[in-house]
Amino acid sequence: MEQWYVLVEVDVDWKFLVKHKESLYLPQFYCSSCNQYSRYIAAARVPEPPVEEVRELLPTLPVELHREMLEQLFSANYTQVTDIVKQIETMMNVSPDQFFAMEQAIRQVYQMPSSRLICPGQVVGPLLVSARFKPQWDVLYTGGGLYFSRRVGEKLLESGLTGIMLFPVYTHSGKPSEVYEAVVTGYCGLPSLVSSGGDFFQCEVCRQWYLRGDHPLKVRFNPSVWDGSDFFHVEGSSAIYMSEYAYEVLHTPYFFVEVWADFEEMEGAWIYPDFDLEGNVFS
């Protein structure tokens, strides 16, 4: 029976310091219908070089908060602070509709297929690293980003693995560094629910999925809604998943030089961590 794996962060490379050439952020959104913020998705950035059309699309975040709001914050008591912080956060976020319009425009500029996810709150543009940086690893997962050494990145694509795109991380002088940044394009729909007493619900406004019911609930990877890619995201999850083939390729002697990531076998069912519609963390 085929097995799937989820990527797990195991170690931090303190020497791998990436910077952005421009502070060009995609905003996050806040949905007033389900009372939730947009979610983070690993390896779903837009590393394409920024162009003028994209710069014009993205809003400038308010650098200075309204004086009145700051004064309120300083004189507030403990319970009021939570409310004011929430107001500030709401102010810093766009609505889901505004975000989707921006997302659509960015897709058109870069001619991106729907398989490319565009994650709110992420910087647009390539990453930069010092020219002196030589990776001690061939694969690095930071919990948000997935990186390959140049040597392994090129071999990886030659091996025919699907569901992944590689973008060079550049040096400050604009040359490709020894590192590739990966973007995951493979997709699997919602997992199937194993336990009874729950159901999946999609917010009509922000399109985010929730699992309602008596928690904890168990779900299982559903291969019938998987596009067959070797690297993929699962609907409702921020993690990166891998096929058995991808796991095997990364564990052949050629690749298994230094892998700073762990590939945890998915046991067929796992507890789905999420927030409910009232914003309570699921157990």
Site for Zn ion, rule CB under 5 A:
31, 33-34, 203, 205-206
Residue 97 CB, nearest approach to Zn ion (Å): 11
Residue 77 CB, nearest approach to Zn ion (Å): 30
> Is 28 within 8 Å of 38 (Cβ atoms)?
yes
Residue (63 or 281) nearer to Zn ion, CB: 281
Residue (140 or 211) nearer to Zn ion, CB: 211
Name the one residue in this structure whose structure tokens are 């973007």.
183
Residue (99 or 231) nearer to Zn ion, CB: 99
Residue 279 CB, nearest approach to Zn ion (Å): 11
> Is 171 within 8 Å of 164 (Cβ atoms)?
no
Amino acid in the structure at residue 93: N
Q: What is the 3-state secondary structure (H, E, C) of the chain?
A: CCCCEEEEECCCCCCCCCEECCCCECCCEEECCCCEECCCCCCCCECCCCCHHHHHHCCCCCCCCCHHHHHHHHHCCHHHHHHHHHHHHHHHCECHHHHHHHHHHHHHHHCCCCCCCCCCCCEECCEECCCCCCCCCCEEECCCCEEEEHHHHHHHHHCCCCCEEEEEEECCCCCEEEEEEEEECEEECCCEECCCCEEEEECCCCCCEEEEECCCCEEECCHHHECCCCEEEECCCCCCEECHHHHHHHCCCCCCCCEEEEEEECCCCEECCCECCCCCECC
Residue 80 CB, nearest approach to Zn ion (Å): 26
Residue 34 CB, nearest approach to Zn ion (Å): 3
Residue (34 or 164) nearer to Zn ion, CB: 34
Residue (194 or 205) nearer to Zn ion, CB: 205
Residue (102 or 246) nearer to Zn ion, CB: 102
Residue 208 CB, nearest approach to Zn ion (Å): 5
Q: Please give the span between the terminal C-alpha atoms of the chain, in angstroms, as a whole number.
A: 30
Residue (247 or 282) nearer to Zn ion, CB: 282
Residue 121 CB, nearest approach to Zn ion (Å): 16
